Amino acid sequence: MIEIKISGRGGQGVVLASQILAAAFFKNGMWVQAFPSFGAERRGAPVSAFVRADREEMTLRCGVYRPEWIIVLDAQLLQNPVILSGLKENGSILVNGKEIPEGFQKPGESQVFMVDAVAIAHSCRLGSASFPIVNTAMAGAFARASGMIPLESVLDAVRETVPVEQERNEAAAREAYERVRKV
């Protein structure tokens, strides 16, 4: 069973990101779940969403505590120790950012991947200057970094799940797929 945590801020499309990844895994024949951390949400407040994927039907309904992947939609959030808590040993982190924030300590033997999804969002004209939409780019980056799902599945998922501007969102996913790198 694969468990993924996605962290971002309210309004960044964290829940939609979890649904895109779930849809991509689903297209590869896996049973999936995607769900938000519950509670009253506010624009700008930290929020998380989770994805589970498994070959067989999953019946459990509870939180994700030991994700093997943590996707962070806003590098600033790395300053909050809660964001990366629970990461499995030898787990992986994918961060939206230009460079690793100063003072960031990679937990244990984890691998860290990075992509400047904000720049990609700007170039694909997704969202506004102050509020770029990075979720589809991050989905594309995840496909490459994890190798768990092919890019095509992510693009299919974007087409089905994202309500507007599918073409620009697909372009963002493609570009992030190319640009993501391990740091």
Partner 1 sequence: MKRLLTGNESAATAVKFSRAQVIAAYPITPQTSIAEKLAEYVARGELKGRYMKVESETAAMAACIGASMAGARAFTATSSQGLALMHELLHWASGARLPIVLVNVNRSMAAPWSLGVDQNDSLSQRDTGWMQLYCETGQEVLDSILIAFRLAEETHLPVMVAMDGFLLSHYFEPVDIPSQEEVDRFLPRRKARFRLDPKHPSTFGGGVSSGVLYDLRRKIQADMEAASEHFEKLCTGFSRAFGRSYRPVETFQTEGSDLTLITSGTLTGTVKAFLKGNRQGPKVGLVKIRMFRPFPGEEIRRALKGLKRVAILDRNLSPGAGGIFSQEIKASLLGLEGAPSVVSVVGGLGGVDITPEHIERLVKELLSRKGSPVETLWMEA
Partner 2 sequence: MECPRLHEELVSPGHFACPGCGETIAFRHVLHALGKDTVVVTSAGCGSVVDGYYPTTASKLPFFHCSFGTAATTAAGVKAGLEMQGNRRTTVLAWAGDGGTFDIGLQSLSGAAERNEDILYVCYDNEAYMNTGVQRSSATPKGTWTTTTPKGALEDRPKKNLIAILAAHEIPYLSTATVAYPKDLEGKIRRAKKMKGFRFIHILSPCPPGWVYPPEKTVRIARLAVLSRIFPLFEIENGNEYSLSPMEEKMPVTEYIRAQGRFRNFTEEDIAALQKNVDRAWEDLVARSRPARGKG
Provide the token pair at 64.
Answer: 């994700």
H-helix or E-strand containing 177? helix 166-179
95 binds partner 1, rule: CB under 8 A:
no
Which residues make beta-bridge pairs with 6? 49, 71
Residue 66 or 182: the one with the smaller Cβ distance to partner 1 is 66
4-63: contacts with partner 1 (CB under 8 A) = 18-19, 22-23, 26, 31-36, 38-40, 58-63
Which residues make beta-bridge pairs with 113? 94, 182
Write out the DSSP string of 41-108. --TTSEEEEEEEEESSPP---S---S-SEEEES-GGGGGSTTTTTTPPTT-EEEEESSSPPTT----T
Number of residues interacting with partner 1: please give it, by CB under 8 A.
21
82 makes contact, choosing from partner 1, partner 2, none, with CB < 5 to 8 Å by partner type, with none
58-87: contacts with partner 1 (CB under 8 A) = 58-63, 65
135 binds partner 1, rule: CB under 8 A:
no
19-48: contacts with partner 2 (CB under 8 A) = 40, 42-45
Residue 28 or 128: the one with the smaller Cβ distance to partner 2 is 128
Residue type, 154: V
Which residues make beta-bridge pairs with 92? 69, 111
Binding site for partner 1 (CB under 8 A): 18-19, 22-23, 26, 31-36, 38-40, 58-63, 65
Binding site for partner 2 (CB under 8 A): 10-11, 40, 42-45, 128, 130
